[in-house]
Chain A
C-alpha cells in the first residue's frame, strides 16, 4: 500500500495505480531484422532488480496517464517520479535507501 506521487495528480494510494514493469525499454525499430534470440530478449528478459528499479506505472483510476517511477524494490520506497520521455535522474544510483 504505498503512496505514489502522480506527476499529474499528486500523491495517491497505490490501489489507484497499475504497475507495468521495467521502464525505458525501447521497441526495436525493425523487429523483422532481429534474430529469435534478440526478439525474445526484448520480449521476455528483464532486470529483476533488487534495489532501485525504474518502472512504468499508469494512474488507472485517476488521470489515466503513464509515467515512470524509481522505486527501491527492497523497501518499496518511491525515490523519484518523472514523466514519460524524461530521462532517469542520474544521481539516483547514489541514493542509499
Chain B
C-alpha cells in the first residue's frame, strides 16, 4: 500500500525527529510521539495480524488498552514480549515488531482456510470435537496450539531487572484525564499528599486526543499549566506510563510503571517497577472505553472505533483512511466526522441509527456539508482484506430488521461508535457494586466498600465541563476525607457546555438476512467470538454470563473484552428474554486490568535473592571440599562429598562404609533447637509430646513424637533436660520455625497461665556429629574433662565439658545406629572444632558425610524421617511407635488416636521391603499392589517411602507403608512400573544391627 496517510499538520508528534523501525522485516519510520499503531497507520499498513480462531485479517481498531486486534511480538531474543498491543507501544528508534498468529505473513496466512470452516467451528468446538477418542487429544492439541499461537515467550533469561516500591499517600488518583487532573489539583491545593497515575506517557487522558477550549484557552495549554502546577508541588507525585492494575483490600493499589524502553537501556534503570501504594483515599478517574456498533463483518481491517479515528487525527496527525464513513448511535461520533472534514479527509456520510438527530453536533455536521443518513444501518461491509465500501439500509420501526433497497457507498474506513463504557474495573476489584443505566446501556459504579470515589467518565459523566467540575469537587472531598482540614476555595476550570442528545441502543445491527447466517457480527475480535456464538451458548444452557464467557471464550483474550463484553452480556440477556443486562450481571472483574509481566511481579526476588539462604558455620569448608548441596527448607546442607571423579552413588557408598567401619563427621547444625525454660516446662512437654517427661533425669535425653490435634505425626526430635526447669528441644531441620510457633500458639492461646519461655537457639549452636566405631577414640584426643566411658556417659545423655578448648555440650544421640557424639559448640567456634576433628581424625580415616549417607544409614536402622515416612495421614501406631506414646496422660492429639478411623486394622503400616535382585532399587513413591499385574485398574495397597542401596549389606533396602503391613511379613508384594512389576518381600523395617549392639561402640 502506498504511504502518505500522515496529515499535513497537527498532532503531538515531533515531526523533526524521525524514528526508524521494522515491522515484519520491513523497514518503516514514524515520529517521536507516535505509537507503533499510529506509525503503522501512517505508513498505510492495514493488516496487522490474523484472528485467533479463523485467522481472518485484522487491522488496528482502537488507540489504547482496549485494542483487540493489533497484537505484536515486540523485539526478539531475550527481551522479546509476546501479545503487545501496538496501540500501547511508544515508538522508539530501532524498534522491531512482528505479527503474531499468522504464518508465513499476515497478508498470506496459511491457516486462513479455517475461516472457510466457520460453520464447523462454533462455540465450544474444542470441547465437543476433541472429546473422543481421548488418546487422540495430544494430536489435536498439538495442532490447535500451533494454529492458535499467541506469540512466543522468551526462551533466554531476562537480561533486565525489575524492582518494587512501597508508597503511602493521602489521595491516589488513577487517571490523569480532565476529571483526574482537576481532582489532583483540588486535593493538592488543599494540602494533601497526592499520587497521580496514568498509563499514557503524558498526562491529559482523552484530552490529548481532542482540541477543546478550557478557561478560554486551547485544552493543550491548560494541560501544560496543570502539569506545571502539579510538578511544582512537592507533595504531588506524577507517575506516567504507569497502570493501576489491581485494587486490593484496605485501599492497597498495585501499579506497574514502565521505566526503560524495551530495547537495551544502558542507564541502569529497572525496566519496570511495581508500586505498592496504600492510600487513605482513592479517586478513580479511569475514564471510559468506546464500544463499537455490532454489525455484519464488523471485524474487517478499516473498521475502527470513532474515538480512535479522531485520536489518530488529533494526536498523531494520521488519517485512518482517505474516505471515512461514520456509523453511530450517538452524538459524539459527529465530532469525528467534523474533525476529519476539517483535516481534509473525505467523510462520505454519517450513518446514524437514530431518526432525525438534531443535537448541536448534528447541526454542525450538516453545516459542514456532511451527509447524514438517519434511521439507517450498515448492513454489509465490502472488501475481505480491508474495507472498500458498505451497503446501507433503512431500519424498520423496532430496529430488528431493515427495509428498502441498499445504497452502496465506497469508503476505506468505518468509524463506529456504540457509546462509551465507563471503566469500572478498579471499582469492581475493590468490591464495589455496579448498577445498569438502562437509558444509556452502561454499567455505572454504585456502592463502594473501600474509601474511594469514581469520577468523570468512569462515573458516567461524559461532558468535559461536567468532568472538570466533578473532578475538582471530588479532589477536595477526598482530601477532607483523608483528614486534611484546610480548605481551598479555588474554582474548577470551565469549558463550554455541550448538549448531547440521547443515543439509540441497538445491541445487534440487523442485516438483510438473519444474524447467524453467512455474515458474522463479532463481539470479541481477539478471540473470534460472534453474536451467534453467544446465542448458541444460551440455547445450549449456558445461561449464566460466567458460563457463557468460558464456553465461548468471550472476553478472555489479552484485551479482556474491553470493547465487547457489554454487548456480549446484552446479547445473552436478549436470548434469555430478560432484556436487562443489569439482571444478567457482569462477569467478575479481576486484576490485572492489563497484562503484567512475570518479571515485574517477581521484581528482585529472582536468582539468589528469591529466598533467603541459610548457611551453617562450616559452610565455607563444605564448599571448598566440593560437596553437592541439598536444599532443606532454606538451609544449604552438604548432600555428599564426591572424591575425584566419583558419582553421587559411589560417594554415598564410600561415606556409608566409612561410618560403619571407621568414623564419619556430619554437620548437623541445621537441626532446630529450642531452649525451653520455666517452672512449668515439664507440663508443656507433657502436653506437646506423646510420651511422658517428669521422670527424665537432668542431663538425659529422650526421643519424642509431636502430633497435631488430629493425631497425625507432625514432628519428632530429641529433647534433653539441662536442669529441673530447663530443656533443649531439637526439631527436624525444615520444621524448626513451625514447631516454635506451635509451642507459642498453645502457650499464648490455650495455656497462658503456664510459666514457660521458648527461645529459638538454632543458629547459636554449631552441631558437629561424629559417629562410627572410632568416634570415641577420636573424641578422647580432644577432651580431658568428660569421661567418655559407657558407664559414666551412656547413650541418650549429655555432658558439658571442653572440646578442643571450647565449652561444649556433647550429646550421645545416634541417628545412624553407630556410637555417636553430637558436639554442640557456640556457632562462632564451629569451624575451629570441625577442622580440629578433621585433622586429628585422618589417622582414623575420618570421612565427612552428607544428608544422603545419613538417610541411608538411618534407613538401615529403620529410623523414620518425618515428611518421608509420614505425610500428614500417619499416626504413631502406623509406624509401630506406640512405645513412644503414653497411656497415662493427655497430650495434643491423644483423643484422635482412639477414633474409629485410627483403630482400623487395615491402616497403612511401616514395613521393610527386600527385592529378589540385590541391585534393584525400588523407586521412592512407587505404588505397591498385592497382585503381579500391569493391567489397570489394580488396587493399590501402599507405597514406598524410602529406598536406597545399602553398601554395608550389599543389598538394596526400602521402607514402605502398606495396608495391614505388619500382618504381611514374609509375603511378596509387587511394585508395578511402566514395563515390569518388581517383586519384593515384606519384612520388619530394620535391616542392620537388629539388636542395636553397635550403639555403644
Residues of B contacting A30 in the complex (Cβ-Cβ under 8 angstroms): 890
Q: Which of A3, A18, A60 contacts B250 (CB 8 A)?
A: A3
- Which of B4-12, B746-754, B954-962, B992-1000 is near enough to bind chain A? B746-754
Q: Considering only CB atoms, which chain A residue lies closest to B895 in the complex?
A: A31
Q: Which residues of B contact A85 (CB under 8 A)?
A: 752
Is A1's CB under 8 angstroms from B745's CB? no
B899 an interface residue at 8 Å Cβ cutoff? yes
| Cβ-defined contact, A84 with B709, below 8 A | no
Central interface residue in A2, A3, A20, A31, by most chain B CB within 10 Å? A31
Max chain A C-beta neighbours (<10 A), residue from B276, B894, B896:
B896
Which of the residues B249, B709, B745, B895 comes within 8 Å of A66, measured between beta carbons?
Answer: B745
CA distance A77 to B744 in the complex (A): 27
Interchain CA distance A36-B709 in the complex, whole Å = 13
Chain A, 36-60, CB within 8 A of any chain B CB: 36, 39-40, 43, 56, 58, 60
A27 contacts the other chain (CB 8 A) = yes
Q: Is the CB of B895 within 8 A of A1?
A: no
- Decide: A43 near B709, CB < 8 A? Known: A75-B449, A84-B752: yes
Contact B748 A65 (CB under 8 A): yes
Which of B250, B431, B890 meets A31, CB within 8 Å?
B890
For A84, list chain B residues within 8 Å (CB): 748-749, 752
Cα–Cα, bound, A40→B748 (Å): 23
How far apart are the CA atoms of A18 and B248 in the complex, in Å? 18
Interface flags, B737-776, vs A, CB<8A=1, else 0? 0000100110011101000000000000000000000000
Residues 270-323 of B at the A interface (beta carbon under 8 Å): 276, 278
On whether the beta carbons of A75 and B431 are closer than 8 Å, the reply is yes
In this complex, what residue of A is CB-closest to B253?
Answer: A1
Q: Is B589 an interface residue (CB 8 A)?
A: no
* Interface residue B580 (Cβ < 8 Å from any Cβ of A): no
Closest A residue by C-beta to B751: A27
- How many residues of A are in contact with the other chain, CB < 8 A? 29
Q: Which of A42-97 contact B (CB under 8 A)?
A: 43, 56, 58, 60, 64-66, 75-78, 84-85, 97
For B708, the closest partner residue in chain A by CB is A43
Chain B hits for A64, CB < 8 A: 741, 744
How distant is the Cα of A43 from the Cα of B893 in the complex, in angstroms? 10
Q: Which residue of B lies closest to A67 (CB)?
A: B748
Set of chain A residues within 8 Å of B252, measured between Cβ atoms: 1-2
Please give the distance in Å from A82's CB to the nearest CB on chain B.
13
Question: CB < 8 Å: which of B276, B709, B745 contacts A20?
Answer: B745
Contact indicator A66/B749 (Cβ below 8 Å): yes
CA distance A39 to B893 in the complex (A): 11
- Write out the residue numbers on chain A whose beta carbons fall within 8 Å of the beta carbon of B32: none
Task: Report if B107 contacts A (CB, 8 A).
Answer: no
Q: Are A60 and B741 in contact (CB under 8 A)?
A: yes
Chain A residues, Cβ within 8 Å of B900: 36
Please tell me if the beta carbons of B895 and A34 are within 8 angstroms of each other in the complex: yes
Contacts of B449 in A (CB 8 A): 75, 77, 97
Smallest distance from the beta carbon of B216 to chain A beta carbons, Å?
45
Contact between chains at B894 and A31 (CB < 8 Å): yes
Q: Which residue of B lies closest to A24 (CB)?
A: B749
Inter-chain CA distance A9–B237, complex, in Å, is 29
B248 touches A58 (CB 8 A): no
A-side contacts of B890, CB under 8 Å: 30-32
A18 contact set on B, CB distance < 8 A:
741
CA of A39 to CA of B748, assembled, Å: 22
Among B248, B250, B276, B750, the residue within 8 A (CB) of A27 is B750
* A-side contacts of B278, CB under 8 Å: 3
Which residues from chain B contact A76 at a C-beta distance below 8 Å? 249-250
Q: Report if A43-B744 is in contact (Cβ < 8 Å); known contacts: A1-B249, A1-B252, A76-B249.
A: no
Q: Which residues of A contact B745 (CB under 8 A)?
A: 20, 58, 66
Bound CA–CA A39/B749 (angstroms): 19
Contact, CB under 8 Å: A56 / B749? yes
Within the assembled complex, what's the spacing in Å between the Cα atoms of A43 and B892?
A: 11
The residue in chain B whose Cβ has the minimal distance to the Cβ of A31 is B895
Residue in chain B with minimal CB distance to A33: B895
Minimum Cβ distance to chain B for residue A53 (Å)? 15
Closest Cβ–Cβ distance, residue B447 to chain A (whole Å)? 11
Q: Is B75 an interface residue (CB 8 A)?
A: no
Of B249, B710, B898, the residue contacting A2 (CB under 8 A) is: B249
The binding surface of chain B is classed by DSSP as mixed
CA gap between A30 and B741 in the complex, in Å: 24
How far does the alpha carbon of A73 sit from the alpha carbon of B744 in the complex, in Å? Answer: 26
Interface residues of B in 255-283 (CB under 8 A from A): 276, 278
> Given the complex of chains A and B, what is the CA–CA distance between A18 and B298 in angstroms?
52
- With known contacts A1-B249, A2-B249, A32–B752 Cβ distance under 8 A: no
Q: Smallest CB–CB gap between A28 and chain B, Å? A: 8
Contact across chains for B750 and A39 when beta carbons are under 8 A apart: no
Q: Are A32 and B895 in contact (CB under 8 A)?
A: yes
Closest beta carbon of chain B to A45's beta carbon, Å: 13
A37 vs chain B, min Cβ distance (A): 10
B431 touching A39 by the CB < 8 A rule?
no
A39 CB contact (under 8 Å) in B248, B249, B741, B899? B899
A44 to B539, CA, bound (A): 43
Is A66 touching B744 in the complex (CB atoms < 8 A)?
Answer: yes
Contacts of B248 in A (CB 8 A): 1
Residues of B within 8 A of A40 (CB): 899
Check if A36 sits within 8 Å of B752, measured CB to CB: no
Shortest Cβ gap from B827 to chain A (Å): 22
A66 to B748, CA, bound (A): 6
Name the CB-closest residue of A to B166: A13
Report Cα–Cα, A27/B741, bound state, in Å.
18
Q: Which residue of B lies closest to A39 (CB)?
A: B895
Q: A56-B749, A60-B741, A75-B449 are in contact. Are A43 and B249 (CB under 8 A)?
A: no
**Whose C-beta in chain B lies nearest to the C-beta of A29?**
B890
In the docked arrangement, what's the CA distance between A18 and B738, Å?
12
Q: Which residues of A contact B744 (CB under 8 A)?
A: 58, 64, 66
Tell me, rounded to whole Å, the shortest Cβ–Cβ distance linking B450 to chain A: 8
Among B745, B749, B890, max chain A CB count under 10 A is at B749
CA distance A38 to B788 in the complex (A): 53
> How far in angstroms is the closest Cβ of chain B from A25?
9
CB distance B749 to A43 under 8 Å? no
Residues on A with C-beta less than 8 A from B276 are 1
Contact A2–B250 (Cβ < 8 Å): yes
B746 and chain A: residue at smallest CB distance: A27
Contact in complex: A58, B741 (CB < 8 Å): yes
Within 8 A of A (CB), among B705-755: 709-710, 741, 744-745, 748-750, 752
Q: Shortest beta-carbon distance, A46 to chain B, in Å?
A: 13
Kindly list chain B residues whose C-beta atoms are within 8 Å of the C-beta of A97: 449
Contact code string B885-904 (vs A, CB < 8 Å = 1, else 0): 00000100011101110000
Nearest chain A CB to B379 CB, angstrom units: 48
In the complex, chain B residues whose CB is within 8 Å of the CB of A39: 895-896, 899
Nearest CB on A from B744, distance (A): 6
In Å, the complex CA distance between A57 and B65 comes to 40
Instruction: Kindly provide the distance from the CB of B949 to the nearest chain A CB, expressed in whole angstroms.
Output: 41
- Min Cβ gap A96→B in Å is 12
Q: What chain B residues lie within 8 Å of A3 (beta carbons)? A: 250, 278
Given contacts A20-B745, A36-B899, A58-B741, contact A1 B250 (CB under 8 A): yes
State the CA gap A30–B890 with chains docked (Å): 8
A2 and B248 CA atoms in complex are apart in Å by 8
Of the listed residues A40, A43, A85, the one surrounded by the most CB atoms of chain B closer than 10 A to its CB is: A43
Residue of A nearest to B430 (CB): A75
Contacts of A75 in B (CB 8 A): 431, 449
- What residues on B are CB-neighbors of A36 within 8 Å? 899-900
Q: Can you list 8 residue pairs at the A/B interface with Cβ under 8 Å?
A: A27-B750, A30-B890, A34-B895, A43-B710, A43-B896, A58-B744, A78-B250, A84-B748
A39-B895, A84-B748 given. 18 additional CB < 8 A pairs? A1-B250, A14-B249, A20-B745, A27-B750, A32-B890, A32-B894, A32-B895, A34-B895, A40-B899, A43-B710, A58-B745, A64-B744, A66-B745, A66-B748, A75-B431, A76-B250, A85-B752, A97-B449
Q: Which 3 A-B pairs have the closest CB atoms?
A: A31-B895, A1-B252, A2-B249
